[in-house]
Chain A
Amino acid sequence: MIFIKNLVKQYGKHVALDHINLSVGKGAILGLLGPNGAGKTTLLSILNGLIDFQEGEITIFGMPLNGELQAIRKRSSFIPQSLALYDKLTIIENLRFFAGIQKISGNTLRHNIDYALTVNRLHPLRDQKAATLSGGQKRRLNIAIGLLNNPELLYFDEPTAGIDPESRNAILETIRFFKNEGKTVVYTSHYMPEIEKICDDVAIIDHGRIIRQGSLTTMLQENEGDSAVIELLHASKTQLDQFASKYAGVEVVDAATLMTSSLDAKQMGMLLSALEAENIAVKQIRYGTTNLESLFLSLTSQGSCDV
């Protein structure tokens, strides 16, 4: 479906994408992970023909991106992170406008609007102005607009940023629904548990380079063994950050979780004693397992969970 070979993008002297090689199969859901500034948005922008690139080859649907951009765009859709819609228009007016500019009309228009409203559960709100919608409902409208051309390939740029858990789950369900429909999805998110829940494949990008890619299951299995996840009671992120800065091989995942790598039994004992001395109670320790977050942190050396 998507085939990228030796893609290079430079902004002046800054190399944003450095010889990227990536492929996404038909019907797959690819999670694209990377810290801020790693090149994720640049890559999505290039794939949608919004910015140029200096070197490399991109083929989508078997067609070269540079020569067949218009044909490719008709079969794909980009759902940007920002709410690219009109607050002063109602949901149905927004959908009719974005369908209209894509020259979708007649029965196709009616069918595709109905599909977009149904998939995103927006039918009851169709005559409501976008400005009056909740954050989650606006996100769903943002996705609905992307479905108007009934795309085979969807690019999601952090579609759940800044919304409540209920709305997030609704969006994740929608993306699973796309998978069942055989659509291909490229997905970036700040929330790694989301990627674990919905993605088949993962590509980790850092400093403009793909540092790991492949099946999510395989990737997690390969990294099992020498890590441990310590779940804590009653700690604060600041307290944990201060604590972790004193110990090599200890990373803070969140306010209630530490992740360790390559610690032997003696070192682990010392670590637990130190936690006790700091009055940080341990809830449980899981050995020999890893999650995407710990894998990501170990690969990118990021202290934050920013993806």
Chain B
Amino acid sequence: MFRAMLLKEFLLLLRDRHALAALFIMPSIFILIMSLALKDTLGSDRVLSTYVVVDQDNTVQSGRLQSFLSENSALEEHELTLTNVAKQQQALNETLHFVLSIPQGFAQNLGQEQSDPALLQLTVAADVKQEVLTFFQAELTKGIMRLRLEKMQEELAPFLPEVAQQLEAMDFDGDGLVTVHFNGMEASKQPTSTQQSVPSWIVFGMFFVIIPMSTVFINERRQNTLMRMSAMNISVPVLFAGKIVPYMLINQIQVWLMIAVGIFVVPLFGGDALTLGDSISGLFMVSLGLSLAAIGTSVLIAVMTATVEQATTIGGIINILLGAIGGIMVPKFYMPQAMQDFANVSPMSWGLEGFLDIFLRGLGAEAVILESLALAGFGAGLLLLAGIIFSSKLRRGV
């Protein structure tokens, strides 16, 4: 009996090009686009800010400060070609983040305990993010500290040559001072945009079963095929099982297809390849839980709506809302705390956290038990509700 139901659902799906596009092509394209679009955002060697230097001091020290800044690949110095203030301001609004002015007397004032006016002047574009400004300020402070140390070293060298040598040997390279280790990853590895994007769009894509599933279900109900099956001794639980099993398989095909896109296709376009975590069982647990949640939502929508148009509209809206709330469209770490807390109401967020545990944080099956159970419980609850409504409608002949 299940074989017949399974075959029927697969045949109906394979002959529905729109459903195939919604289930397989659209999420694959999303993965590709978002992995490439976010590549620079999450990469360590990307340019964070652009600046020009107006050096009015023209000393060795002011030159050294500029060379310190240029050592950092996250900072990109533009040539100073803009001499008048109006043009500088225009450039700040369009291409530059900062104009750094090194006033005359910079080198002279370096050694003073307190400097008034300040050693450096920074003009900042109005749209610069606070964290970029903080980062640039920190780099400048670090540069000034290095110059001050060099000055101290020069002054100490005739009297305390050993101390001066120690000062000279000091390492200011960030990698040498601080070792960064991303939790759950190998020492030299870091999260990539692909690791972040693939889980998000897998979750989103899985919920797109709402459209083909509710379309088939509503057509069956409208054409009385479900009623006919009921007259052929097919009970509501069996009828629902006949839907759940094939779409769970379809969801699993989706998951592995999208993982394959992350592993094999994204690198072809210059993106980072997806790496699987160590827990395939955890991956299955989350994907099965997500599948049940998506199917439960689909069946409930199909049971509660009267037409295919209603189901696809409502289903589409629910999918996008759950995605927006759950951190699919905008990663949760970009959200303010209140929104991050609110994101937890979306089952997509539970699924995403589960997948991130596996793909990004390198955790095992035990770490995703809670998310998997919550998703499965959510799906089972919706299916139960759908079953009650559907049985009631069937008995009333609605």
Asked if A145 and B397 sit within 8 Å, CB to CB, the answer is no
Which of A74-82, A246-254, A298-306 interfaces with chain B?
Answer: A74-82
Asked if B397 and A101 sit within 8 Å, CB to CB, the answer is no
Cβ-neighbour of B223 out of A48, A51, A77, A84 (below 8 A): A84
In the complex, the number of residue pairs spanning A and B with C-beta atoms less than 8 Å apart equals 74
Q: A51-B395, A101-B5, A103-B1 are in contact. Are A80 and B12 (CB under 8 A)?
A: no
Tell me if B121 counts as interface (CB < 8 A to partner A). Answer: no
Asked if B223 and A97 sit within 8 Å, CB to CB, the answer is no
Q: Which residues of A contact B397 (CB under 8 A)?
A: 42, 45, 50-51
Task: Give the residue among B228, B229, B397 with the most A Cβ atoms within 10 A.
Answer: B228
Q: Which residues of B contact A295 (CB under 8 A)?
A: none
Asked if A100 and B224 sit within 8 Å, CB to CB, the answer is no
Tell me the minimal C-beta distance from A215 to chain B in angstroms. 29
Asked if B4 and A101 sit within 8 Å, CB to CB, the answer is yes
**Bound-complex Cα distance A49 to B15 (A):** 33
**Bound-complex Cα distance A88 to B242 (A):** 18
B-contacting residues, A221-257, CB 8 Å: none
Tell me the minimal C-beta distance from A84 to chain B in angstroms. 4
Asked if A101 and B12 sit within 8 Å, CB to CB, the answer is no
Asked if B225 and A86 sit within 8 Å, CB to CB, the answer is yes
Tell me the minimal C-beta distance from A151 to chain B in angstroms. 11
**Bound-complex Cα distance A45 to B230 (A):** 11
Tell me if A127 counts as interface (CB < 8 A to partner B). Answer: no
Asked if A73 and B231 sit within 8 Å, CB to CB, the answer is yes
Asked if B16 and A88 sit within 8 Å, CB to CB, the answer is yes
Task: Give the residue among A48, A100, A145 with the most B Cβ atoms within 10 A.
Answer: A100
Asked if A96 and B4 sit within 8 Å, CB to CB, the answer is yes
Tally chain A residues at the interface, Cβ within 8 Å. 32
Task: Give the residue among A42, A49, A99, A101 with the most B Cβ atoms within 10 A.
Answer: A101
Q: Which residues of B contact A101 (CB under 8 A)?
A: 1, 4-5, 229, 232, 234, 242
Q: Which residues of A contact B394 (CB under 8 A)?
A: 50
Q: A51-B397, A84-B225, A89-B12 are in contact. Are A100 and B3 (CB under 8 A)?
A: yes
Asked if A80 and B228 sit within 8 Å, CB to CB, the answer is yes
Q: A78-B228, A101-B229 are in contact. Are A89 and B11 (CB under 8 A)?
A: yes
Asked if A49 and B231 sit within 8 Å, CB to CB, the answer is yes
Q: Which residues of A contact B234 (CB under 8 A)?
A: 101
**Bound-complex Cα distance A84 to B229 (A):** 9
Per-position binary interface string of chain B over residues 365-398, scored 1 when its CB falls under 8 Å from any chain A CB and 0 otherwise = 0000000000000000000000000000011110
Asked if A88 and B4 sit within 8 Å, CB to CB, the answer is no
Residue of B nearest to A96 (CB): B4
Q: Which residues of B contact A149 (CB under 8 A)?
A: 232
Asked if B224 and A86 sit within 8 Å, CB to CB, the answer is no
Asked if B231 and A78 sit within 8 Å, CB to CB, the answer is yes
Q: Which residues of B contact A42 (CB under 8 A)?
A: 397
Residue of A nearest to B8 (CB): A97
**Bound-complex Cα distance A97 to B230 (A):** 14
Tell me if A115 counts as interface (CB < 8 A to partner B). Answer: no
Asked if A88 and B11 sit within 8 Å, CB to CB, the answer is yes
Per-position binary interface string of chain B over residues 218-248, scored 1 when its CB falls under 8 Å from any chain A CB and 0 otherwise = 0000011101111111100000001000000
Tell me if A93 counts as interface (CB < 8 A to partner B). Answer: yes
Asked if B232 and A89 sit within 8 Å, CB to CB, the answer is no
Residue of A nearest to B3 (CB): A100
Tell me if A85 counts as interface (CB < 8 A to partner B). Answer: yes
Tell me if A83 counts as interface (CB < 8 A to partner B). Answer: yes
Tell me if A102 counts as interface (CB < 8 A to partner B). Answer: yes
Asked if A98 and B224 sit within 8 Å, CB to CB, the answer is no
Q: Which residues of A contact B232 (CB under 8 A)?
A: 73, 98, 101-102, 149
Task: Give the residue among A49, A51, A80, A86 with the most B Cβ atoms within 10 A.
Answer: A86
Tell me if B306 counts as interface (CB < 8 A to partner A). Answer: no
Q: A84-B224, A85-B225, A88-B15 are in contact. Are A50 and B230 (CB under 8 A)?
A: yes
Q: Which residues of B contact A74 (CB under 8 A)?
A: 233
Q: Which residues of B contact A70 (CB under 8 A)?
A: 233
The 30 listed contacts between A and B (C-beta, < 8 Å) are A48-B231, A50-B230, A50-B231, A51-B396, A51-B397, A52-B395, A70-B233, A73-B231, A78-B228, A80-B228, A82-B223, A84-B223, A84-B225, A86-B8, A86-B225, A88-B16, A93-B11, A96-B4, A97-B5, A97-B7, A98-B232, A99-B4, A100-B1, A100-B4, A100-B5, A100-B7, A101-B232, A101-B234, A102-B233, A149-B232
Q: Knowing that A50-B394, A101-B232, A145-B228 touch, tell me 4 more A-B residue pairs with CB under 8 angstroms.
A: A88-B11, A97-B7, A100-B1, A101-B234
5 closest cross-chain pairs (CB), A and B: A100-B4, A84-B228, A84-B224, A82-B224, A78-B231
